[in-house]
Chains A and B, each alone.
Chain A
Amino acid sequence: MSVLKFLKNLLQYQPPKDDVFILEEGTWAQEAERAGEIPPTEQKAAAGSVAPRTEQGGDTGAAPGAYNKTDTPEDAEATTAPQPTAQREKRPERTLRKPVPISEKLTGESPEDRIAANLDANRSTLERLFHKPQNTDLVIRDFTLQATGQCGLLVYIEGIVNSDRLSYSVLQPLMLLGKARDTQLAPYVIETVEEHLMPVHQVAIIETWAEVIQNLVDGLALLFVDGDARALAIEARNFPSRAIGRAEVETVVQGPQEAFSENKRVNVSLVRNYLRNKDLITESVDIGSGNSAFVLYIAGVANQKLVDEVRRRLSSLEGSFLREPGHIEQMIEDHPNSLYPQTLTTERPDRVAIHLMQGKIAVILDGSPFALIVPITFFTLIKTPEDSYLRPAFGTLLRIVRVAAIFVAYLLPGIYLAIVEHHHAILPSDLLLAIAGSREGVPFPCWLEVVMMEVSFEVIREAGIRVPGVIGPTLGIVSALVLGQAAVAAAVASPILIIIVATTALAAFAIPNYQLQFSTRIIRFLYIAIGYALGLYGIVLGLAVQIFYTTSITSFGVGYLSPVAPSTKTDLDIVFRSPLWLHETRPDYLQSPDRVKKPRISRGWMQEDNHEKK
């Protein structure tokens, strides 16, 4: 008995804490069950570790202590047994002292971080902070306040403010209006200005230099008045921006054509255009270095746990230049090393609106015409907005084509190589002769030929993207001629292989998601290698590993193949699409508090019709 116990203790070491955020999955019935009796997580623990340990009781001290000290306090609490004596106190974590940038340094409580009442002192501080003689962008405009006769400073950064607004809405009233020399107002001058003399829609009173810096670089103008240790931030932003353009990346034939631009305010308003909903929340989350992101969701539709998690991940970010969704994506993904994209990047406001309505969350950043949508599943990536704008049969057809394209893009060269190298029997005799005949005289082994053609195709694709627009078509012709015609004529490649490579490339382009395209391009080479080495068996092995991997990863706690595996209740909108009026519920995997999207009968006229007949 003691031998068993010894072995038990020997092998009983605590695994590293699995700190994975999981949005619970399950069917509605399970959800009800959970609400009743079962705690949502930690069910798995019942399998082995917790229950038997209670039998073990206080004997733990006799066992080799080395394996027990890693017990975490939570676990100790979970057991009803007396706590092991060898338990150590948890050490306080050592904090690392990191150099802090000056803007943060200034937010401290010391008096010199606050704005001074003396205008000259403020001026010299500003000039020091903004490297005034060298940096010509900072403009400091002196003027005298008509209302009180005090001196004032209007400070802004040239080029990112609206100078008309400053002249007519700020300087004009300040310099011209008000009873002259009304000295009684002097202590409350900032409030007076804010309430009476500033016909600008957004102003704010600030007190610290950190805020001053932040507001100035954000494009606001600041008003300092002599004798007051505060400043007034005036909204006058005018960053150059593009007009709303047509969608370039995610084009559709039928459906809205507009796309996001680089201004996050404009982008949010584009989304609001689709969702006239009081519950649509635009939450600003600081993502470090003075940047902030808008997190969009619909309250009561998005799961609060999910919203909290997105906020938590975003607000914890620190980095010098996190302006692109691409950057943010890499920083907040569940599996950053994965080849699958786990967020959806889209430039279409209608798409964002559709996903928000399902209970997903969008992140919009300044300076990028793309929005991030989380969480997503694999099947999100094979959809386009157009699918739902078309009749279900058309949408289904498009998706079946895409699914086929995904398989072709991943597997075709690998399968070709596997068959040509290992499984000659599979080909029909005519095709076999055609392949063998076309291979005659090609000086390279088959695998080298495939790799060569694939690589050269990658080169063409890269060149095609980087080449200036004017010579783009020329490049296409040249590469088609060189690789297609000449390579065959010179017996460097066999014509059948050219067909294979071209079909594969076309299939990759048929995948609607740009990032998924990338994954096919990389994984394809793995399939080529394993197909060459192990034939069709290798291909299947690779496929099985890929399926295992795909089922195991998550996007913000949602299983990647979600509506299928784990199979949850959902409307039929995965590959096959049911008619629009049957889409009544939100996907189960999103755990939305408001499951029902619309009433059972959404085509009221059908019902009226029936009534009339009766």
Chain B
Amino acid sequence: MRKSNRLGAQELYALLLITVSSLVYFSTPRYFFLIAGNAAWLALSIAISVSLICIFIVNLLLKRRPGQNLISLNTQILGTWLGNVVNMLLVGHYVVTGALIIRLFGEAIVLTSLRSLPVSVIMITSVLFGLYGCYKGWNVIAKSCWISLPFIALSVFIPLVLAWTYWEPSYLLPFFGKGVDDTLFGGVFAAGVMGDIILTALLANAVQPQVNLMKVSISAMIVTGLIFMLVVVANSMVNSYPVAAYITIPYFSLARTLSFGRFLERLESVIFIIWVFAALLKIAVMIGTGIYVYKQIFNIADTKPLLLPYGAILMTTAIMPKSFPVVDKWSWIYMRSFGFVITLILPTLIALIGLIKLRGKQEVKAQP
């Protein structure tokens, strides 16, 4: 990691946006159909609001303690032992989600375009790529995110909007989908899908001091929510509920349905390129975050020796599940249970405790 440069507001924004929203390219949007039937968009909006509330509370704490991140705050608020246990939970979370994402990514590539390739090839190359990104440091990853942001935004909006000829708005009804309880509670737990937004809190000390974290993270979250919403809504209008719930990669199949005349038909290849790019960036971020948290817990100056072992751990974890449906199922179960608790509920609770503890005390000046 370069010593002088910290992340600017734009780079952080791009990093957050791509990290959270690139889940849209995997089978994630499907889960909302499983939860709430054709009211997937309702469940999704609940999930978005839950994660917005969580990130708002965490940011309140970060504002009180500038120059510190969630990891150091955990130890300060909960004490060294308990705080580090929570931090280790975060590391574990990033190992698991990183592995899941890598596997899902590999499977998605094999499913959508490279049938003849063994999935391990794609997984190894993507892990190596992620390690390369970590070797170069946060700055490089964030800058690359910023460069690729316009292309990725374009690729998200083009297929969804171009599919409007197939839109049938009445497919969004009946309003409550599978029922009020399912939609509401399912929606709350599904906020785990957006859990990666906690990256703001983890990177808070790697950001330039004048960046308004609250503004950046909330706006990134809202835009991410819009992207998710667009994909889910478009999907439920084009494919309709019972079909949409069983399409493995909804975004890709949506892109495949596009056809404008005889030439603008095979657009999915262009979108595929950008899709893979966003997913690769996400993998780099997932690996980087895990190592970053680990590094800070044990106060390691140089992370480079950690890279290969960490990659090996991810790879072995990722290769363990037997098949794609197993990975898919587990990623869903994990995201709405452990992922939800570790990335959203725990930090929010700690932030609340911290806010109460800090009440009345003088604001702590940032450590240099």
Contacts and interface: CB of A to CB of B under 8 A. Distances in A.
**Direct A/B contact, Cβ within 8 angstroms:** yes
A48 B296 contact: yes
A44 B6 contact: yes
A541 B11 CA distance: 21
B132 interface: yes
Interface string A157-169: 0000000000000
B280 interface: yes
Nearest to A564: B147
Interface in B139-155: 139-141, 143-144, 146-148
Contacts, number: 168
Interface stretch (A21-29, A380-388, A441-449): A21-29
Interface residues of B, number: 61
Interface in B167-195: none
A537 B277 contact: no
Interface stretch (A3-11, A249-257, A307-315): A3-11
B329 interface: no
A551 B210 CA distance: 23
Most buried by B among A14, A24, A40, A47: A47
Contacts of B140: 548, 551-552
Given A20-B2, A535-B114, A11 B277 contact: no
A549 B129 CA distance: 11
B132 A38 contact: no
Contacts of B122: 534, 537
A44 B2 contact: yes
Interface string A177-217: 00000000000000000000000000000000000000000
Contacts of B116: 422
Nearest to A42: B3
A316 interface: no
B363 interface: no
Contacts of A49: 299, 301
B8 A544 contact: no
B76 to A, nearest CB: 12
A508 to B, nearest CB: 22
Nearest to B117: A534
B114 A544 contact: no
A552 B135 CA distance: 10
Contacts of A425: 266
B120 interface: no
Given A534-B125, A567-B146, A428 B209 contact: no
A26 B11 CA distance: 12
Contacts of B11: 565-567
Contacts of B3: 18, 22, 41-45
Interface in A404-426: 422-423, 425-426
Contacts of B144: 544, 547-548, 551, 565
Contacts of A39: 368
B302 A13 contact: yes
Given A536-B269, A567-B10, 20 more contacts: A11-B300, A14-B301, A14-B302, A25-B4, A25-B5, A30-B210, A45-B3, A48-B299, A48-B300, A49-B301, A425-B266, A426-B266, A428-B262, A428-B265, A535-B114, A535-B117, A538-B125, A544-B277, A547-B148, A559-B143
Interface of A: 1, 4, 7-8, 11-15, 18, 20, 22, 24-27, 29-30, 33, 38-53, 422-423, 425-428, 534-541, 543-545, 547-549, 551-552, 559, 561, 564-567
Instruction: Give the top 9 A-B pairs by smallest Cβ distance, nearest first.
Output: A15-B302, A565-B143, A551-B143, A426-B269, A540-B276, A41-B4, A44-B3, A552-B140, A49-B301
Interface of B: 1-6, 8, 10-11, 67, 80, 84, 109, 113-114, 116-117, 121-122, 125-126, 129, 132-133, 136-137, 139-141, 143-144, 146-148, 205-206, 208-210, 262-263, 265-266, 269, 272-273, 276-277, 280-281, 284, 295-296, 298-302, 304, 367-368
